Amino acid sequence: MSSRVLLHVGTPKTGTSYLQDVLFRNRKTLAAGRIRYPADRFDAHFLAALDLMRMPWGGLEAEAIGAWDRLAEQVREHRHTSIISHEILATASRSQIGRALTSLGHGEGAEVHIVLSVRDLVRQIPAEWQENVKHRSGIGYQAFLDEIREPEREGRIASWFWGVQEIPDILDRWGHDLPPERIHVVTVPPAGGAPELLWKRFSQAFGLDGLDLDLEPDRANPSLGVPETALIRRINRAANRDLAPADYRPLVRELLAHQTLSRRRDSPRLALPPDVYPWVRDVEQAWVDEITVRGYDVVGDLAELLGAPPSDWADPDRPSEKQVAGAAVDAITALLLDNARLRHTEERLDRELAETRSALERAYLRPTYRLREKVVRRLQRGRVGRGLLRVYRAARGSSSRSA
């Protein structure tokens, strides 16, 4: 089994997609360095997480059946270091975590480490709301804030949010059986700093220093501005009932959000409302104090978890209608172009199909059949001819037309 297993379990919106892209793309190089990233498809660990946590995800779950056990088996087959990474693992229950750790060899000689990448809540909260909206949610920003601030946390959104963001709780669930030096907290540097800094920290935490990896960003997860997010939310409310999840993903999330609306960089960015900042700051401070006390290995600086107070604030629940209209025009243009592309494809396929059919006819027909078919076609054009055909068919006793 793997001597060392590095389990990266969250949190979302901390550069996890970039990390997973690099790991996936560089599997061979990693393998040469005796590090295994067991994945036959880029979302293999996502499916494994869905399987472990028995979580439906808009129809994808059928592909996830058995995925965790397959992943665990590959980890056990390997002899050195294995890396697993997906951010939804943060919200796993204690029983699922127990199963996960056992299946990876914990307690049988494998040295399991937990890695958690973290970012200040001032940036995480608007980012999580946006993620909700990009996953078909129609909830407004203020309603979202109200729900996550509710102390009982009974609603689904609040349960999910704190399940994937509350750092001390996540580490308590995943790490309560592990010594603190095997729990690594990687902090995301504040905005505006050197872009490679986060990668350096990941590299340090996962032991990738010295490997020659291709670091080109592949799947950037660009964020949307205030009017763009408001637009997607309105689209969700209008179209969700009729648009299946399998169509929503390529059309709304990919085409509109990621490929079109994220290009509009001049619109105001999503931020925390200034009146919520004091409460957020208290929560952040409590977490920093707790992590310090617990003595985990910190890669970065815990002070970075105390976010800067928000400066520009534009309310996504009351956006500039002019900006939303501008974003809508961009969205419609993108959809028109995509629609035109599909129509051309359809025309081309129709042509190819017609050619294929006639080629098939030519290949199989005898000369007399062609003559007979010509006669039938000529007869069908006239009323007398159709009557003659009916008589002929009745006399023949079976219908040559399909039901």
Interface residue list for other proteins (CB under 8 A): 50-51, 53-56, 61-62, 64-66, 91, 93-96, 98, 151-154, 156, 159-160, 162-163, 166, 168-169, 172, 176-177, 241, 286-287, 290, 398-399, 401, 403
Name the nearest CA neighbour of 149 among 6, 240, 283: 283
Report angle CA 333, 334, 337 to the nearest 5 degrees.
85
Nearer to other proteins, 283 or 325 (CB): 283
Phi, psi of 36 (to 5 degrees): -110, 130
Nearer to other proteins, 311 or 399 (CB): 399
The minimum distance between CB 272 and other proteins, in angstroms, equals 21
DSSP letter at 139 equals -
Quote the CA–CA distance of 143 and 315 in Å, as a whole number. 12
The minimum distance between CB 129 and other proteins, in angstroms, equals 17
Nearer to other proteins, 94 or 318 (CB): 94
Nearer to other proteins, 58 or 193 (CB): 58
Nearer to other proteins, 228 or 284 (CB): 284
The minimum distance between CB 383 and other proteins, in angstroms, equals 18
Nearer to other proteins, 151 or 210 (CB): 151
The minimum distance between CB 382 and other proteins, in angstroms, equals 21
End-to-end CA distance of the chain: 61
The minimum distance between CB 132 and other proteins, in angstroms, equals 12
Nearer to other proteins, 118 or 198 (CB): 118
Quote the CA–CA distance of 166 and 175 in Å, as a whole number. 14
The minimum distance between CB 62 and other proteins, in angstroms, equals 6
Q: In what order do the strands lie in the sheet with 81-85?
A: 35-36, 81-85, 4-8, 111-118, 183-187, 297-299
| Contact (CB, 8 A) for 113 and 4 | yes
Q: 341: Cβ–Cβ under 8 A, 6 or more apart, which residues?
A: none
Name the nearest CA neighbour of 131 among 233, 219, 199: 233
DSSP string, 294-347: HT-EEES-GGGGSPPPP-----TTS--HHHHHHHHHHHHHHHHHHHHHHHHHHH
Nearer to other proteins, 55 or 127 (CB): 55
The minimum distance between CB 223 and other proteins, in angstroms, equals 24
Of all helices (H) and strands (E), which one includes residue 132?
helix 121-134
SS3 content of the chain, % helix, strand, coil (to 5): 60, 10, 30
For tokens 């660009």, what's the residue?
Answer: 222
Nearer to other proteins, 100 or 298 (CB): 100
The minimum distance between CB 95 and other proteins, in angstroms, equals 5
Name the nearest CA neighbour of 2 among 116, 93, 101, 115: 101
The minimum distance between CB 144 and other proteins, in angstroms, equals 16
Quote the CA–CA distance of 228 and 199 in Å, as a whole number. 29
The minimum distance between CB 6 and other proteins, in angstroms, equals 21
Nearer to other proteins, 311 or 402 (CB): 402
For residue 229, whether the previous peptide bond is cis, meaning omega lies within 30 degrees of 0, is: no
